[in-house]
Structure 1
Amino acid sequence: MSIAHGPHTLAIPGPSIMPERVLRAMHRPAPNIYTGPIVDLTHSLIPDLKRVARTEGNATIYIGNGHAAWEAGLANTHARGDLVLVPRTGSFADGWAAVAEGLGLRVEFLDFGNRDPMDPAAIGERLRADTNHEIRSVLCVHVDTSSSVRSNLLAIRREIDAAGHPALLHADCIASMGCDVFEMDAWGVDVAITGSQKGLMTPPGVCFVFYSAKADRARDRSDLATSYWDWRPRTNPAVYFRYFNGTGPTHHLYGLREALDMIVREEGVEAVWARHALLAQALWAAFEAWEAPGGLELNVRDPAHRSHAVTAVRLPKRGTALREWCEMRFGVTLGIGIGMADPGTPAWDGFFRVGHMGHVSGHAMMGTLAAIDAGLKALAVPHGAGALEAASRVLSKA
């Protein structure tokens, strides 16, 4: 017998739960893609996207996932053979580096492991040693979705400036934008990328690249930007179809408009950040109460460096069993571990992840934690007591 019948909860770190009103906005016939309401709607998206990214710079929309955004950002700012520095805190830095290498760029890693944030001082030291300014960009994953490590981009920008280095600062905000505090202009980020399917609460399929005037000057020497990836024709185009270099992702645009209404015009970006911070603190309180020898352990030990959107959890040899129990018996889907396995173990058996991004409420958070609590008991996983009480105390103080 299963009690998973009824509404299912998706607690993976993207795609996140899609609000019903976003899905309803998308459920319509195809529009005229040359003139009329879809043109005005698209024009209205750009200012609100920039409000979410906290920038007065440029915003572009691409049809594609986060990997597409990686390629777009790199192609517009580099020439073949350029050197990029990749401070690594998880598997998504590896993926970004692979895209860079595929474009013919040289990649140098600073590996900080899978549990700790980037060390800004170490980045500054490397840049000071680069007296010939070979390094063209520093590629920083703000929140690595695999490890749930969140790094301090402002401190990294200060180190770049203190080193007197001209490198661009790129930020992968796919897991963080619309969830964690991110201030593109105030933090001196030159290129920021994100996708539609996490904090922006829209189905996967579109991605966004924000860029500064300094980044656009790098476009002058780039030899990688094909007619499709080139961001200049897509920025403030005189002809509508140039937004997308062809047919636009029409139904995603309808959904995105509804999602941005919710984020920017109704709840407000700062309130969205505060909600995510509070829900994350409740989740951490529960997991800290559960921690026990032989049981689960939060991957990131310092709360100051934990994501407010995703939490990676270590559970030796039992992560898969817990995930399967929660999904099949309770109707709650948790995320698999990605690239976090210890040597000699299956790809993700020793880890799982909880996504708490986008359209998430206190009710949803407590339901997910209750499912995990029941699973730990059913599987006889060693764990401490009082987790749900700890989480509810955090939320009760809101």
Structure 2
Amino acid sequence: MRQPGQHFLQIPGPSAVPDRILKAIGQQTIDHRGPDFAAVGKTALDGMKSIFKTEQHVFIFPSSGTGAWEAALVNALSPGDKVLMYETGHFAAMWQSMAKKIGLSPEVITSDWRGGADPDQIEARLRQDTNHAIKAVCVVHNETSTGSVSPIHEVRKAIDAAGHPALLMVDSISGLASLDFQFDAWGVDVCISGSQKGLMLPPGLSFNAVSDKAMENAKSVTMPRSYWDWHDMVGPNATGYFPYTPCTNLLYGLNEAIAMLHEEGLDQVFARHARHGAATRAAVRAWGLDVLCAKQGDESGVLTAVLLPEGQSADQFRATTLAHYNISLGNGLSKVSDKVFRIGHLGDFNDLMLMATLSGVEMGLAKAGVPHQSGGAQAAMEHLKQTAA
């Protein structure tokens, strides 16, 4: 049966695509080797440098974020290399699995999935590695499965304090363009991202931001690579072109997205996401439920993962809420499967959209019979009123 009105896509990505970007994507495809394409490609490549806040290299691949994970690993490392990986959640664990599959030797610092990476643990392990066997430290900036943020600038300080030469590799697939990220200032060597989160695009583009140190290192590593090779990109990218067929229409959309982010102002974008995250957590507390991220200061402005009481099915709650209120919420992944649901509040999103989302969640809790207190949406509204610009 048809449900009237707008469907609320409140998963933590893909995020809803604004009309401006849809219209840009809908332009006619042009010859990707012709003279008109150069401006499209150069605008996208230079524009992404402004989003990563870097003067170094940015590469754009036609792929999901998983492809960008692989591109980062195969360009920066050799078979058998040891990498120190901090497991903050499901996606950090998936990156570890990939590292193992392609012949690397991941060493994992585990956690309870309720906070970001601990720089002190990273520093302590690197201090023990006196032979510098560890070639890279891999950390997820915004863990999409848990709603926890890792302090990347503090991780860099930890690596430096240990006097260790390891590369700092960061997954900011769901953090970039929603949370502050400063590639150059924070001393990141490789950052991975994707198009379908804060950049407000459909899936299909992924990114590697790469430091000069990592580019130099890529000349001597021996991991097999072809499609993902950074050095094959450098020459064509210099004039706005690519070594193979690019996603031309998604690049149209990317250029529109970059323009929209700068029209609002990146600092305002980050503040908006932080404010919506705080309002959502106020709602969760008023419902008497727990936010999965328990470490104060690590909570995400991109999404909020909510723990349901023992014995309650998060998947059944989500199904009930979808059926009755036409709202899609994110599911729990791997070891928090059916225990949590995730509210996405990222991308092209405003106060009224958040209030509609939280009202739908609150009605869904009641409809599904989940024990809770009423008034969460009201608590969020009070927070928004008190913090309005």
Q: What is the TM-score of this pair, normalised by structure 2?
A: 0.95
2:260 aligned partner: 262
Answer with 113-122 or 194-203: which moved more: 113-122
User: CA, structure 1 residues 92+238, in 2 after alignment: closer, same or farther (shift >3 Å)?
Assistant: closer
Q: Which residue of 365, 369, 376 maps to 1:380?
A: 369
1:241 deviates by: 8.3
Q: Which residue of 343, 349, 361 maps to 1:360?
A: 349
Q: Cα deviation per residue 1:111-140 (whole Å; 9 max; x = unaligned)?
A: 022112221111101000000000000000
| Secondary structure at the counterpart of residue 305 of structure 1 | coil
Q: Is the 8 A contact 1:169 1:189 kept in 2?
A: yes
| Secondary structure at the counterpart of residue 232 of structure 1 | helix
* Matched residue type, 1:383: H
1:225 deviates by: 4.9
**Whole-Å Cα distance in 2 between the matches of residues 320 and 5 of structure 1?**
23
1:176 aligned partner: 175
2:315 aligned partner: 320
User: CA, structure 1 residues 236+285, in 2 after alignment: closer, same or farther (shift >3 Å)?
Assistant: farther
* Matched residue type, 1:255: G
1:1-398 to 2 correspondences below 5 Å: 4-235=3-234, 237=236, 243=242, 245-264=243-262, 266-291=263-288, 296-315=289-308, 316=310, 317-341=312-336, 348-396=337-385, 397-398=387-388
1:301 deviates by: 1.9
1:212 deviates by: 0.5
Q: Is the 8 A contact 1:146 1:339 kept in 2?
A: no
- Structure 1: give runs of 5+ residues left out of the alignment: 342-347
Q: Is the 8 A contact 1:90 1:114 kept in 2?
A: yes
* Matched residue type, 2:260: M
**Whole-Å Cα distance in 2 between the matches of residues 236 and 270 of structure 1?**
33
Q: Cα deviation per residue 1:64-92 (whole Å; 9 max; x = unaligned)?
A: 11110001111111111110000111011
* Matched residue type, 1:261: A
1:344 aligned partner: none
- Structure 2: give runs of 5+ residues left out of the alignment: none
Show structure 1 runs of 4+ deviating over 4 A.
238-242
| Secondary structure at the counterpart of residue 311 of structure 1 | strand
| Secondary structure at the counterpart of residue 62 of structure 1 | strand
1:56 deviates by: 1.2
| Secondary structure at the counterpart of residue 233 of structure 1 | helix
**Whole-Å Cα distance in 1 between the matches of residues 303 and 176 of structure 2?**
12
**Whole-Å Cα distance in 2 between the matches of residues 284 and 61 of structure 1?**
35
Q: Is the 8 A contact 1:340 1:351 kept in 2?
A: no
1:363 deviates by: 1.0
User: CA, structure 1 residues 40+241, in 2 after alignment: closer, same or farther (shift >3 Å)?
Assistant: closer
Q: Cα deviation per residue 1:323-353 (whole Å; 9 max; x = unaligned)?
A: 1122111111101111233xxxxxx222111
* Matched residue type, 1:180: L
**Whole-Å Cα distance in 1 between the matches of residues 201 and 113 of structure 2?**
28
**Whole-Å Cα distance in 2 between the matches of residues 297 and 253 of structure 1?**
40
**Whole-Å Cα distance in 1 between the matches of residues 244 and 117 of structure 2?**
39
* Matched residue type, 2:321: C
Q: What is the TM-score of this pair, normalised by structure 1?
A: 0.93
* Matched residue type, 2:256: E
State the percentage of identical aligned residues: 38
1:150 deviates by: 0.9
User: CA, structure 1 residues 390+303, in 2 after alignment: closer, same or farther (shift >3 Å)?
Assistant: farther
1:30 deviates by: 2.0
**Whole-Å Cα distance in 2 between the matches of residues 193 and 369 of structure 1?**
31
Q: Is the 8 A contact 1:144 1:175 kept in 2?
A: yes
